[in-house]
Structure 1
Amino acid sequence: MELHHVIVEKLCSCAKQEGMEKIVSFESKEEAQSAANEKLAHMQNNFCGKHEFDVTEVNDHYVIGMLGGCDCGSHEKH
């Protein structure tokens, strides 16, 4: 059985503080898509707001990427 993954392309400080996993696997594409959308909404609504995120489907997997951002690596510097 082929697994479908939700991949957080780059873990920002907020994601690291929450202990968010970089890759989570699911048995169905629908489960992966739903989980990716839920994770995206969580990141957009609960993180510090310094970055924006989006989901892109790549070969039946879902990649959550960071749009723009400061790339400082630590929000304590702001």
Structure 2
Amino acid sequence: MFTINVARECGCFKRSPYENNMQFDNKDDALIQAKAMEKHMNEKFCGKHGFVTEETGDTFTIHVGEKQHASAGGCCGGGHCS
């Protein structure tokens, strides 16, 4: 059995139709579902968090962290750098 585990359930995840610790009979199905969940969560959830999938043995863990913001090339965006 292969498992998709969400390391920390944020509020958006709890309100979503997804379930934690979903189980699959084969690796391909689990990987496809984990990557689809990761993509959906990054694109459709509130944007406060970023999600990334990590494979460890028979488990695909979706880690939740602070969303990485695009770099402004060292500029804070305050308008005084130019």
TM-score scaled by structure 2? Answer: 0.75
After superposition, residues 1-78 of structure 1 pair within 5 angstroms as 3-68=1-66
Looking at secondary structure, tell me which structure has more helix per residue: 1
The gaps in structure 1 that reach 5 residues or longer are 70-78
CA contact (8 A) 2:48 2:66 kept: no
Which one-letter code corresponds to 2:39 in the other structure? A
After the TM superposition, which parts of structure 1 deviate over 4 Å for at least 4 consecutive aligned residues?
none
Question: Superposition RMSD on alpha carbons, in Å?
Answer: 1.2
Q: Secondary structure at the match of 1:67?
A: strand
Q: Secondary structure at the match of 2:36?
A: helix
Counting aligned pairs with the same residue, the percent is 30
The gaps in structure 2 that reach 5 residues or longer are 68-82
Alignment size in residue pairs: 67
